[in-house]
Amino acid sequence: MPPTTPAASARGRHRKPRTLSPAARRAIVFAAAAPVAGTILTAPSAFAAGKDTAKNVGTAEYGLDPAEQKIADNLNSRVQDPRLGTTVSGVVIDSESDKTVWGHGAETALMPASNTKLATATAALTVLGPDHKFTTKVVYGDGTLTLVGGGDRTLTTADLEALAKTSVAGLKSAGLTSVKVRVDDSLFPEPTLATGWNGDYYPDTVAPVRPLVVDGHGVTDTSLDAGQVFAKSLADKGVTVTGEVTRGASGEGDVPVAQHTSANLSTIVKHMLKVSDNNIAETLLRMTALGAGRQATFEDGTAVVREVLSSTYGVSMDNFQMHDGSGLSRATRIPAQTLVDILDLTTDPRYRTTLKSIKDGLPVAGEEGGTLGPGTGRFDTPDSKCAVGKVMAKTGTLTGAIALSGFTKAEDGQWKVFSFIENGSSADPADTKDALDGLAATVNGCWA
């Protein structure tokens, strides 16, 4: 691996404290709904104007304080770690000033694995809004109760039981004691594999993407599975369910019987990022596409993500290729610089209200309940364990690709945003993760 060489960098956002208004969000939806031929063509926004991104940065002559200089010097050395292989990129910026502290092939597009979820979350929160909720409905017509999927990937058995309880009360008040049950999952088209997905992903790594699921079950047909859970609950409450659960669209004249609304999107995003839930990510990609007036497909969903990142936030789409919402696609390529720019948006006064759940949802080193928690093998080496509780970052792991992007407060008391991506190392993946954790601890400064 060639040594990192310094280059000048003066990144600078034009900050004007301003929240994203509903009118602005509607404008985003309108822009994203425009027809796309091939790839979206975008022009730099005022937000991006004047940005100067360097591929390799890290010397005092470019205005680094002593703590930052130590970060740069140590990273220059530690990025040579053989556990990282020869294809690794990274960048560190100061969150307040946007000054680039260190970079190494920062604009090289590599396979980011689940760091892709940062882009998905940004678009979903922007188009739908952090307070958006997903609705699952039950309607009745012609002797049939239809469970209508609304894209709630967090629906539980308890939620279906509540829907069944309300439905049974309505049926009995109408003098009905038997009913047929069907599911309506027509909100999404028939599931397909994304570009870059392996066929053996189904159904454990990710389930075929449908708008109806219960308890996150990893099964081939989540809609029929949810319908069967609903039908059993009806039967348990004294209503006879005749025949098998079927699939079909609800009728125009069907009468609303019951509905369940999910938690706010901001809460769902935090959970998705904390545990790196592939299924939630893919559902959000489709719901974002629908919210922007597009079709609920991989292609339209990722097109909306690109449009939001580039036109709304001025994030460069150079070398950016995205093919799904979860990061499972082996064809996706995103530069470390782009991931840092996405994360940095969450600290901007203009966008904090909309995007804060992204930062809030990042796993914290050593914290239970996330992908950096105890038992995950992360931040537990002599070099990195000093950063437990001090680093919050999105993990990413595929065969041949490991990434870590997030925040830590450095020795100078300033928050730093970092992204490190490794592809193709021949080392044991656990050893490569340890090396990346060490780089994050270096940014924090606890590994001096």
Q: What is the pLDDT of residues 113-168, one digit of tens each?
A: 999 999 999 999 999 999 999 999 999 999 999 999 999 999 999 999 999 999 99
Q: Show the CA angle centred on residue 364, arms to residues 125 and 15, nearest 5°.
A: 45
In a domain, 276, yes or no: yes
Domain-terminating residue out of 240, 262, 284? 262
Domain-terminating residue out of 213, 230, 262? 262
Q: 321 with 303: CB under 8 angstroms?
A: no
Predicted confidence (pLDDT) per residue in 179-192, tens digit? 999 999 999 999 99
Q: How far apart are CA 379 and CA 361, in angstroms?
A: 18
Average pLDDT over residues 297-319: 97
Q: Show the CA angle centred on residue 422, arms to residues 437 and 376, nearest 5°.
A: 40
Those residues with Cβ within 8 angstroms of residue 162's Cβ, 6 or more apart along the chain or in another chain: 258, 260
CATH code of the domain containing 430: 3.40.710.10
Q: What is the pLDDT of residue 123?
A: 98
Element (H, E) at 73: helix 66-78
Banded model confidence at residue 432, pLDDT cuts 50, 70, 90: very high
Q: What is the pLDDT of residue 316?
A: 96
Q: How far apart are the first and last CA of the chain?
A: 23
Question: Which of these, 324, 317, 303, 321, lies nearest to 28 by C-alpha position?
Answer: 303
Average pLDDT over residues 227-232: 98
Q: How far apart are CA 54 and CA 51, in angstroms?
A: 10
Q: Which of 21-35, 295-309, 362-376 has the lowest mean pLDDT?
A: 21-35
Q: Are residues 218 and 117 in the same domain?
A: no
CATH code of the domain containing 171: 3.50.80.20
In a domain, 291, yes or no: yes
Residue 379 has pLDDT above 90, yes or no: yes
In a domain, 102, yes or no: yes
Q: What is the pLDDT of residue 63?
A: 87
Q: Are residues 104 and 143 in the same domain?
A: no
Residue 24 has pLDDT above 70, yes or no: no
How far lies 418's CA from each of 88, 288, 318, 393, in Å?
13, 27, 19, 9
Q: What is the pLDDT of residue 202?
A: 96
Q: How far apart are CA 385 and CA 187, in angstroms?
A: 46
Q: Are residues 95 and 183 in the same domain?
A: no
In a domain, 6, yes or no: no
Q: Are residues 97 and 148 in the same domain?
A: no
Q: What is the pLDDT of residue 62?
A: 59
Across all residues in the chain, what is the average pLDDT? Answer: 89
In a domain, 376, yes or no: yes
Q: Are residues 393 and 436 in the same domain?
A: yes
In a domain, 154, yes or no: yes
Question: How many folded domains does the chain comprise?
Answer: 2
In a domain, 159, yes or no: yes
In a domain, 141, yes or no: yes
CB atoms within 10 A of CB 413: 7
Q: Are residues 57 and 143 in the same domain?
A: no
Average pLDDT over residues 367-376: 97
Its domain, for residue 102, covers 22-130+268-444
* 3 state DSSP class of 229: helix
Domain-terminating residue out of 242, 262, 282? 262
Q: Are residues 258 and 328 in the same domain?
A: no
Q: Are residues 125 and 140 in the same domain?
A: no
Q: Are residues 311 and 336 in the same domain?
A: yes
Predicted confidence (pLDDT) per residue in 37-89, tens digit? 222 223 333 223 233 333 344 444 458 999 999 999 999 999 999 999 999 99
Q: Are residues 427 and 297 in the same domain?
A: yes
Q: Are residues 400 and 419 in the same domain?
A: yes
Q: Which of 24-28, 264-268, 295-299, 428-432 has the lowest mean pLDDT?
A: 24-28
Average pLDDT over residues 217-236: 97
Q: Are residues 291 and 254 in the same domain?
A: no
Q: How far apart are CA 250 and CA 228, in angstroms?
A: 17
Residue 290 has pLDDT above 60, yes or no: yes
pTM of the model: 0.88
